[in-house]
Amino acid sequence: MTKKGEDKQYLEKLRKLVEYHQDKYHTEDAPEISDEAYDALLRELSSLEEKVEGKKSAVTEKVAPAPSMAFTKVKHIVRQWSFDNVFSESELEEWEQKLFRYLRKQGEEVSKISYVAEHKIDGLKIVLEYREGKLFRALTRGDGVTGEDVTHTAKTIKTLPLTLPQAVDLICVGEVWMGQKEFNKLNVERGKAQESLFANPRNAAAGSLRQLDPEVAKKRNLSLFVYDVDLFEGKQTKLAIPTSQWEELKLLKSLGLPVNKHARVCKTISEVEKYYQEWKENHLELPYGVDGVVIKANEVSLQKVAGYTAKAPRFGIAYKFPAVETTTVVEGIELQVGRTGVVTPVAHLKPVLIDGSTVARATLHNEDQINRLDIRVGDTVIIRKAGDVIPEVMQVLKELRPKKTQTYVFPKKVEDCGGDGSIERIPGIAAYRCVSLDSDFLHRQKMYYFASKNALNIDGVGPRIIDVLLENNLVEDVADLFTLKSEQISVLPGFKDKAADNVIESIEKAKQVSLTRLLVGLSIEQVGEETARLLAINCGTIDNIKQVSLEELVVISGIGEVVAEAVIDWQKNNEEQALLKKLLKHLVINNDDVIPSTGLLEGKTFVFTGTLKDLTRTEAQQMVRQAGGVVTNSVSKRTSYVVIGSDPGSKLAQAEKLEVSVLSESDFMNLVAK
């Protein structure tokens, strides 16, 4: 088949998939993928349609699917639109220049144009019609031409006035939303009743507004913001017809309708960008979901001249926040060997922008995950990245799978392992490791990690310097670092006396080390930073850790049987113990993790998930320990609290399922401040 034929075939698959997800999202209120992943598919479809067919189809131009047959269908008096999206400052500037060109063609002066920037509320659009100041009807957007009559449920929204203070005729547009706390409460209740959970607050709001029984909607405490005037007649009130978007907001507020207080007039597109950056950083602190900023030309006269495309207004645009999920293509799968010999599969991806950075790799975790996803080279996948979390593949879009793809089979050998490269399944967990751990690659990886910030933090001694030291036979293992002299280093290529002195000074500082950092640096299998801290707190000294029994280890909260067995294996490993003996000749070990406790949180177990705004994860965990609490990495029935930041992921869902108390960052701060 020719490349053109392949593109056409893929286009039809993609169009069919987008239509399917449009229907799941808008009609059934039961999305199967995130809004961000859907946006990525829609953008790809639009681009491919232009490339292959030279025009957009009815699918990409569609405002929304047709209204449900379960509700009375009503034709809108004023047609409803959805905004096009931009995702970067350069795209925003391109939109402005396109608007300017269009207005100039119509003979308009653009030098005095201003904008109104508003939060793009993540909810369900609603069109409200008042006659003589009384609420007459509430409609969903539907397909833009016809909507669903949801007056019976809209009336249950506490902030929606049924009667205005002035007897005006008004059609206004707003967004119905559900707060995060209400959403969490609703999903807990649905879980108890063994009902399916809502995917997100937006779909919970949509599902609530589109209930046949208004009592169901009433119990869910929906909220509302109104942001646009489609039609206004002041009648005998002497209220003037607004001439700008800002005046529309002031009019709506004067009539007692709930208006978002964070809207702002911006004189330039640079001021819009400043507003966007401000809320990109702070929107997670809001009680409602915001997925971007809506920008409109402020002057109604210019809005009318600019008009509309087949789908969207030319005078406005939605500037979306960086996606934490998007779609891309798997170009390869390789096995990566970690410093302890654990083998992790990694997907090589077609580079894609996500969460503010370009991503070309994502973890696949283990063989079981690959089999569960049935991921193959050539697949289109949804990936997720949030903050500093390593990107991961969430879902395979099998509808877009090319023909003749092959199931991925884990190899039996990996080059970076020692010996003949053989790997084996680790008993009790879903991972492989090298059979032999004597490869030069693994030896170097352990040395790199020993000197890294997570372990002994030997400033200036990174992989490049360690490689030079090894290649010049100045060290054989990490213990030899502490025997180095400045004159040995200064003669090496690229080094001067000052640089050599700095390296020796850093090594000298590292001789004073906490027990936790030493345990991390030893690269004991299954012992990461948190486990190392638990061992330090409960065992007290390195000598005690060398002698602790399996029975004593498994009763420590946060240390299970797999970790305990790994520690026992380390105790029995003659090479590891010889290295430790050699190290101890040079180190002074303190145990600063045994800290005075206020006892405030004694007996309480905490799990942290997501990105905290005002605290680092380490700072928050230390606050728990100082108050006598325990920090673990997984949610169980024994967990007392799950503290959530932005993008909390699956741990939040697990907490809700197990009915574990969920705390925001501010809730947590209040708790530890008591």
Cite the active site residues.
120
Half-sphere exposure (Cβ direction) of 352: Cα atoms closer than 13 Å = 29
Q: Could you give the CA distance from residue 352 to residue 123 in angstroms, rounded to a whole number?
A: 27
* Token pair for 289: 């979901």
Residue 362 near residue 393, CB atoms below 8 Å:
yes
Q: Could you give the CA distance from residue 118 to residue 614 in angstroms, rounded to a whole number?
A: 25
Who's near 12: CB < 8 A, 6+ residues apart?
none
Integer CA distances (angstroms), 359 to 184, 259, 327, 366, 401, in order: 31, 38, 11, 20, 21
Name the H helices within 155-268: 180-192, 201-209, 214-219, 245-254
Q: Nearest-CA neighbor of 338 among 528, 496, 600?
A: 528
Q: Could you give the CA distance from residue 190 to residue 30 in angstroms, rounded to a whole number?
A: 15
Kind and range of the H or E run holding 169:
strand 169-177
Name the H helices within 240-335: 245-254, 269-282, 300-306
Residue 175 near residue 225, CB atoms below 8 Å:
yes
Q: Could you give the CA distance from residue 365 to residue 495 in angstroms, rounded to a whole number?
A: 40
Kind and range of the H or E run holding 498:
helix 497-510
Identity of the residue numbered 197: L
Distance of CA 78 to the CA centre of its chain: 37
* Token pair for 627: 């108050």
Distance of CA 603 to the CA centre of its chain: 31
Residue 499 near residue 464, CB atoms below 8 Å:
no
* Token pair for 451: 């000197």
Residue 349 near residue 359, CB atoms below 8 Å:
yes
Q: What share of the chain is helix, strand, coil (3-state, %, to 5)?
A: 40, 20, 40
